[in-house]
Amino acid sequence: MSGFNQEMHKGGGKSGSRFGFLRTKKVLATLSLLVVVAVILIVTPVPDRRQFPGSIANGTALRIMPLGASTVRGENSPGNTGFRKPMRDALVALNVSVNMVGSQQVGDFADNDVEAYLGVRVSQIHERSKPAVRKYRPNVFIINAGINNALMNFELDTAGQDMDKFIRDLLATSPRALVVLSTLTPSRIPHCEPLIQDINGQFQDLYARLKAEGLPIVVADVHYAGKEPDALQLTDITSDGTHPTGEGYQRMARIYTKAIQRADSSDFLQVPVPLAGVPDDGASPAAGASSAPKSARRSTTAHEHRRRFLHMKRELCITSNPNLWGKV
């Protein structure tokens, strides 16, 4: 090998060694950086919005329509607030905008809209609520209906089927909605309680079927025979044998709030359809809540008192005389 070639060979060897060393340093630096990133990812927990109490559905506004009969209206509760006001207060405390919607205004509180009628059965509230459902397109339905099926012993065997049709119709009209299906509260009327438990069994079976279909539904069990520790006991029912006490309504509010939180953990809550004139906060001045006269926000007119009296008289007649069941 010539002197020139030998120098080139020696120089090339030094150069290659130097480049190899530099490559090794880059690889080591890259590996070190990856280790640091991995440690950061392991040590630093990934934020989960459900770890924080004020993060229901990332602050998604809740447009809630309570559906049912006299219990949903808050019969026998102070100011007819029922479960609706304490439930709304609990949700607002979680930093959620709430607008209760419906065609009626019942109760001594702002945002007291509701879709509930005295003495109606499941099939009847289904039919009567259709215009309001189309108008407001809620993203949360809370259904407590069926106790009048038991009180009247009418459409008892079809209560579950009627509820199935009702729920499917609600979701077809308002596809972004969650359905909170409530069981019925217990009854202090001995011959009505077995009927109520039978209907509750139908509702539980229905819930299992709809859940298996992947529909956005949760069950809220308010009856002591279920597994909910906060469920209503017979002592939570007033002397009329049917409607909850103030504490009973508070229990319902807690159960329904927890049901909505469970629905959030299943990603069932969606942003409601934007509608002109329907704000996110039903108690805001934009909703007309603060400027509405108090009489417009209450169910204490003479006409309403008369309706209540007739309703209670009919219930007492039906429940005290089983021979009249199914004939009203």
pLDDT at 303 (0 to 100): 46
Return the percentage of the chain with pLDDT > 70, whole number: 70
Candidate from 40-44, 131-135, 187-191, 236-240 with smallest mean pLDDT = 40-44
In the structure, what pLDDT confidence band is assigned to residue 75 with cuts at 50, 70 and 90? Answer: very high
Residue 172 pLDDT greater than 90, yes or no: yes
Residue 160 pLDDT greater than 80, yes or no: yes
pLDDT at 138 (0 to 100): 98
In the structure, what pLDDT confidence band is assigned to residue 279 with cuts at 50, 70 and 90? Answer: very high
Residue 12 pLDDT greater than 90, yes or no: no
CATH class name, domain 51-312: alpha beta
Angstrom CA distances, 170 to 46, 129, 152, 327, stand at 37, 9, 25, 30
User: From its phi and psi, is residue 18 left (phi > 0), alpha (psi between -120 and 50) or beta?
Assistant: alpha
Q: Which of 224, 205, 216 is closest to 263 using CA atoms?
A: 216
Exposed e or buried b per residue across 117-149, where buried means at least 16 C-beta atoms within 10 angstroms of its C-beta: bbbbbbbbbbeebeebbeebbbbbbbbbbbbbb
Candidate from 102-116, 225-239, 269-283, 307-321 with smallest mean pLDDT = 307-321
Pairing of strands 217-220, 178-182: parallel
pLDDT in tens, 122-139: 999 999 999 999 999 999
Residue ranges of domains in the chain: 1-44, 51-312
Q: Give dist(CA 201, CA 213) in Å, integer.
A: 19
Residue 208, judged by CB atoms within 10 A of its CB (0-12, 13-18, 19+), counts as: exposed
DSSP structure string for 217-231: EEEE--BTTSS-TTP
pLDDT at 58 (0 to 100): 84
Q: Give dist(CA 173, CA 231) in Å, integer.
A: 31
In the structure, what pLDDT confidence band is assigned to residue 283 with cuts at 50, 70 and 90? Answer: confident
Mean pLDDT of 38-61: 51
Outline where DSSP puts E strands in 165-289.
178-182, 217-220
pLDDT at 35 (0 to 100): 47
pLDDT at 313 (0 to 100): 44
pLDDT at 167 (0 to 100): 98
> What share of residues in the chain are helix, strand, coil (percent, to 5)?
50, 10, 35
Residues 223 and 183 sit within 8 Å (Cβ to Cβ): yes
Return the percentage of the chain with pLDDT > 90, whole number: 67
Which residue has 């509260």 as its token pair? 185
Residues near 68 by beta carbon (within 8 Å), at least 6 away in sequence: 116, 120, 125, 143, 144, 145
Residue 227 pLDDT greater than 50, yes or no: yes
Q: What is the pTM of this model?
A: 0.76
Q: Give dist(CA 182, CA 198) in Å, integer.
A: 14
In the structure, what pLDDT confidence band is assigned to residue 305 with cuts at 50, 70 and 90? Answer: very low
Structure tokens at 177: 């909605």
Q: Which of 66, 39, 54, 56 is closest to 252 using CA atoms?
A: 66
Mean pLDDT of 100-124: 97
Residue 169 pLDDT greater than 60, yes or no: yes
User: Which one has a higher pLDDT value, 163 or 315?
Assistant: 163
Residue 99 pLDDT greater than 90, yes or no: yes
Mean pLDDT of the chain: 81
